[in-house]
């Protein structure tokens, strides 16, 4: 690749250290893997990624960009580096696009996606073999294409108000349709079903409180 190309990524300042790594280890590994030159401004959070003469595939520049973005969104370097594999994709879901600017709405939606004690996010990850991070006002996903689509659909369902049990059933059915057998949802066994019902009741009660607060302010 003879013509120099660049990509600019803005990373939250509290994540710059992750992109750099101890002694610059992560940046060096990324440069070597993608044949890029990476310049980081710790003050502004700007990360410039340059192609080099050794780069024989322009896609490597975009991979480096997405890996930096993923680390900025909260993924560990180990998980972000999965994006070096052509089978893996990265997607960011902007929550404000779905629920607007109201802080209460954003908090509620993020809590629904995380679930009680992180159970819902864990379920999505387990059934889709994806990695999911909720940070700021975004949800980010790393996974293989079909799995990523499944994870995204489950998250959109939660954003739009679907009950957790409906989302779990969707994940089970989608997994079965992909030909994977032998995995059954945890909520069908033991006491998890009772906990799931309790979680949904708590969620409905919290939503009522939020609605009442909004009405009283008006």
| Each residue's pLDDT tens digit, 67-85 | 999 999 999 999 999 999 9
Compute the distance between CA of residue 214 and CA of residue 218 in angstroms, rounded to an integer.
6
Compute the distance between CA of residue 157 and CA of residue 44 in angstroms, rounded to an integer.
36
Residue 206 has pLDDT above 60, yes or no: no
Residue 209 has pLDDT above 80, yes or no: no
pLDDT tens sequence across 52-63:
999 989 999 999
Query: What pLDDT shows up at residue 2?
Result: 55
Tokens of 29: 């590994």
Mean local confidence (pLDDT), 16-41: 97
Residue 207 has pLDDT above 90, yes or no: no
> pLDDT class for 174, splitting at 50, 70, 90?
confident
Residue 149 has pLDDT above 80, yes or no: yes
Compute the distance between CA of residue 64 and CA of residue 27 in angstroms, rounded to an integer.
10
Beta-sheet pairing, 46-51 with 88-94: unpaired
Sketch out the chain's domains with CATH numbers. Answer: 6-84 (3.30.1370.10), 90-217 (3.30.1370.10)
Nearest to 83 by CA among 96, 94, 73: 73
Count of C-beta atoms within a 10 Å radius of residue 142? 25
Helix ranges restricted to H, the chain: 16-20, 25-34, 59-72, 77-80, 96-99, 103-114, 119-128, 145-159, 164-177, 192-217
């Amino acid at each position: 690749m003879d013509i120099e190309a660049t990509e600019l990524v803005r990373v939250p300042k509290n994540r710059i250290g992750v992109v750099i790594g101890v002694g610059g280890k992560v940046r060096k590994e990324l440069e070597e893997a993608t044949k890029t030159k990476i310049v980081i401004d710790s003050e502004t959070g700007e990360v410039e990624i340059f192609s080099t003469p050794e780069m024989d595939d322009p896609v490597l520049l975009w991979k480096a960009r997405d890996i930096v973005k993923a680390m900025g969104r909260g993924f560990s370097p180990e998980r972000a580096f999965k994006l070096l594999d052509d089978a893996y994709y990265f997607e960011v879901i902007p929550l404000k696009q779905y629920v607007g600017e109201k802080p209460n709405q954003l908090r509620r939606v993020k809590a629904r996606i995380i679930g009680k004690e992180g159970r819902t996010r864990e379920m999505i990850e387990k059934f889709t073999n994806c990695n999911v991070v909720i940070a700021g006002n975004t949800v980010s996903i790393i996974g293989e294409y079909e799995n990523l689509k499944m994870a995204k659909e489950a998250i959109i369902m939660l954003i739009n108000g679907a009950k957790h049990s409906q989302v779990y059933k969707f994940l089970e059915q989608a997994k079965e349709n992909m030909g994977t057998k032998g995995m059954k949802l945890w909520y069908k066994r033991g006491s998890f079903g009772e906990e799931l019902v309790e979680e949904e009741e708590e969620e409905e009660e919290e939503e009522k409180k939020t609605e009442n607060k909004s009405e009283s302010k008006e």
